[in-house]
Amino acid sequence: IKMEMPNINLDGEVTVLATVPEVVEALECCAMTWQKLISTTLEEQLKKIPQGNGPLAELDFWRERNDTLSALTEQTKLPEVQKVLEILQEAESAQLGDLEVVLSDLRKRHVDALHNVKFLSALEHHLKNLTYGSGFDVVLDTIPALMSTLRIVWIISWHYNKDEWMVPLMERIAWEISARVYRAVDLHTLFKEDKPAAKKKIAEAKSTLEQWKKCYFAVRAQIEASGREKHWEFDRKRLFEKTDYMTGVCQDLYNILQVIIGEFYNAFGRELKVVTGNPKRVNDLLRGVNGLTIPMENLTFDPFDVKSAHDWKLIMEEFRAGVSLENINAIFVQKQNDPPLWKNHPPVAGAISWSRFLFHKIKHTIVRFQEVEEMLASERGKEVKQIYLNVAKQMKEYEDQKYSQWRDETEQILPQLMENTLLNVSSVTEESVTTKKSVRFTVNFPPMLQEIITETKYMEQLGFPVPEMARYVALQEKRYLRYINRLKIMLDRYHRLMEILNEAETKLLDDHIQELWTVFKSGHRRLNWNCLGIGNFIMRSTEAVKKFELLVHRIHRNSEDISNKLHFIESANLFKFPLPKNGELPKVKEFFEHVKCERAKDVAQMVRNYSAISQLLIKVEGRVANMNSGKSPKLASYYAYWEKRIYQVLTQLIVKNLQAFNAAVLANVPLFQIEAILSAPELMLQPNANEIAEMTAQCILDCIEITKHFARWMRGTCIECPPQRVKEDGAFIFSFYTDVFRSPLIIEQAGLIIQNVHKVLTSLDKYLNQWRRYNLLWTMDKGVVMERFAAEKPSCVTFDDEFQLYRKVAQDVTQEPLIKDEQFIRLHLAPLACTVQENIRGWVISLGKVLNESAREELFSLQKEIQVGGFIL
């Protein structure tokens, strides 16, 4: 577009040219031409619209307008044009006003176009990636950046910060995203492609469509959170109606591929052919699956067009109906040999119920399918209907075959099952006690019989006729269940009783067990489930078990009483030590006399408890054998059992007491005291070591001999043996002493105590040897020693040395400890120390006498010398 310049000479001053009419007239004609040109150009530009639906078309549109208006604007800035305008202004031409209006509009439109090109150019890179990007991955990465740039444009631009301009731009972007998906997803070829690749493509297409909406709302939330920017309140229908609809279609396509790949192709593999044993049937199923997508490959409408939503919905309904049929058909083929059962359903009726459940599912699908005439009238609709009829026929044949097989088997096996006896017995051939204890009785109601009852009830509910005998048995189910429950309770009661019996008690009750088995015998020999006397048998058996239970409980109460008495005997303390009196320990004899006396009291009580055991056993005899003699042959083994227990208790009693006494011997707690004395020339214990050892051994023997007070029972009885007359020794009592005394444990423990006592006494003797360093005080003859000392005429210094020596010895004796505790013995050394001190005093007195005699002789000698000297004088 070019503006024409005037053909007149414009050289000269503007003020001069403005006064020339010819010039002004010519320039006014030129201005009118310019005005018309610019107006026409603006009108043409305003009438133009972007050539295309995408966002790049809008960028091209504004660039073209900018180029056109820029060319005109630059021409209006030429010097010639500016001088023309100045002349017309100077001449006050009326034409200038209209031209100025047009020029102002031109400049405004040009600025707008330039501004829009500037901001759309900022989007150009993202828009080209959106339009020409190599794959959906590029588009997915582009959309967030594009949306962020749109936010900047919304904030800065004075054109695209208004809904009327931003919404159409975003609408074009949405269109471009939809177009990318439309170009990539071609239903005519989609299902012929590699299935995993097609599935991936659909997933990416759906993600792209969702990304557009997701990023929009993310940026919208950021704008609202900022609090400074104008909010996006755009028409969502214009922006998302198409993309949302296409997202739904993509989801449908993804589900279709998921069903075909994930369910059918994986299910209809080699394993299904092996399981069903019918490869042809499986291949037919696969062909049916492949036929599900044929209607989509031959569509006569655009599935991505919102206007075709109804048609697409019909297609999906057809597909779902076909999938439902094929899926249920596949389940039926795969699991018909081992169908899943509902809780409490028997195998056959459960399988038929499962088959009917599948049938009702496909029937429901077909009923919905038939409600839409368009679907039923289509070729695919007719195919679906035919598949339905074939599957239904197979299910009906399956039901009939299952029912016929069950009916034939039931009519054959039910009479045999009803002939079963009420009870089963594990073994009743052996007569040994252990076998009696291990015999198990069980209710012989076969699981197969219960299954037939359950099948019969469910078969009638399913509408099948059942055999008369099966119906009769099923009607009696509650009665049979009551019988079974009562039998189980009775047998459980019996087995619990047998489990708590020990071997001796089982032998004791052998006759009663046999009597109980006699009652049970008709239950496992004669009575079956057809008999009328089942209730009477259960009642008699229950009463017999109750009677047996009462007897067992009474015997156990007596056993508990006997065990309590034995526990009293076993826990007796046969070594009760005396307590110190006023801090003084007892002497040895006093200690052992106290132990002996206390033991005698306890033994008397123990013997009374022992004697009471016989009376308790006689009570058992009365209940078991109806005798009170204490010597019933039926209880011989039971008497022997308790006699053995008594022997074990007595042995354990002695062993435990000896162990306790040995522990007391080894403990560092003195039990009694002894004294150390001087019986010149020897140092001795009082009483001596042999006497202490003998008293200890006698105490141990007395402990063991308490078993002599427990008389043995006569063979086969619980009656104590009477004393036996022996010529030499008088009366002899058969007791447990002989057997207990021979126990290796008791022999070992007694020997260990004696050994430990000897060690303590030896240790005390060694300690006493320390006093032997003073033995010269009592072994030497004072008279002889003093006579020799006096003969030596000792000086006073020598006498003083001797006195100092005795004083030091006396001090040493004073510093010696007067008590020595050696484990269980306390040794008092005061008597010995006192005797040594007396010996020291004796030596000092003797030495004093020698000193006195020596001084006396010296004095007399001196007196004589004085007298002689005086006489001379």
Tokens for 285, please give them.
């199923």
Beta carbons of 107 and 101 less than 8 angstroms apart: no
Residue 873's pLDDT is what? 47
pLDDT(434) > 60? no
Q: Which amino acid is at 293?
A: T
Burial 741-777 (b: 16+ CB within 10 A, else e): bebeebeebbeebeebbeebbeebeeebeebeebeeb
Q: Give the residue-averaged pLDDT of 5-19.
A: 82
pLDDT(259) > 80? no
Residue 444's pLDDT is what? 93
What does the DSSP 8-state code read for residue 160?
A: T
Exposed, middle or buried, 84 (CB in 10 Å: 0-12/13-18/19+)? buried
Q: Name the phi and psi angles at 268, rounded to 5.
A: -90, 55
Of residues 638 and 229, more confidence is placed in 638
| Euclidean distance between CA atoms 756 and 675, whole angstroms | 20
> Could you read off the pLDDT of 600-642 as tens digits, one per residue?
999 999 999 999 999 999 999 999 988 888 889 999 999 999 9
Q: How far does CA 304 lie from the centroid of its chain?
A: 53
pLDDT(428) > 50? no
CA atoms within 13 A on the CB side of 79: 3
Tell me the percentage of the chain whose pLDDT exceeds 70: 92
Q: Compute CA distances 865 → 791, 854, 861, 871, whole Å.
A: 22, 17, 6, 10
Nearest to residue 522, comparing CAs of 533, 514, 510, 511? 533
Q: Considering the chain, what is the average pLDDT of its residues?
A: 86
Of residues 655 and 83, more confidence is placed in 655
Q: Compute CA distances 261 → 269, 278, 328, whole Å.
A: 11, 22, 16
Greatest Cα pair distance, the chain, in angstroms, is 211
Residue 228's pLDDT is what? 82
Beta carbons of 57 and 49 less than 8 angstroms apart: no
Is residue 277 classed as helix, strand or coil in its secondary structure? Answer: coil
What does the DSSP 8-state code read for residue 585?
A: P
> Could you read off the pLDDT of 507-561 as tens digits, one per residue?
999 999 999 999 999 999 999 999 989 999 999 999 999 999 999 999 999 999 9
- pLDDT band (50, 70, 90) for residue 727: low
Is residue 748 classed as helix, strand or coil in its secondary structure? Answer: helix
Nearest to residue 726, comparing CAs of 737, 718, 734? 734
CB neighbours of 516 closer than 8 A, spacing ≥ 6?
494, 544, 545, 548
Tell me the domain boundaries of the chain.
1-122, 133-265, 268-417, 419-570, 588-767, 773-872
- pLDDT band (50, 70, 90) for residue 268: very low
Residue 263's pLDDT is what? 54
| Euclidean distance between CA atoms 351 and 337, whole angstroms | 9
Tell me the percentage of the chain whose pLDDT exceeds 90: 48
> Could you read off the pLDDT of 462-508 as tens digits, one per residue?
999 999 999 999 999 999 999 999 999 999 999 999 999 998 999 99
Cis peptide before 467 (omega within 30 of 0): no
- pLDDT band (50, 70, 90) for residue 315: confident
Q: Name the phi and psi angles at 481, rounded to 5.
A: -65, -40
pTM equals 0.57
| Euclidean distance between CA atoms 56 and 173, whole angstroms | 9
Which range has the worst mean pLDDT, 19-28, 122-131, 453-462? 19-28
Exposed, middle or buried, 62 (CB in 10 Å: 0-12/13-18/19+)? buried
Q: Compute CA distances 29 → 42, 147, 329, 643, 781, whole Å.
A: 20, 52, 90, 154, 181
Tokens for 94, please give them.
């009326």
Which range has the worst mean pLDDT, 46-55, 254-263, 550-559? 254-263
| Euclidean distance between CA atoms 330 and 335, whole angstroms | 8
Q: Which amino acid is at 335?
A: K
CB neighbours of 162 closer than 8 A, spacing ≥ 6?
none
| Euclidean distance between CA atoms 700 and 749, whole angstroms | 10
Residue 287's pLDDT is what? 57
Q: Could you tell me if residue 278 is left (phi over 0), alpha (psi between -120 and 50 degrees) or otherwise beta?
A: beta
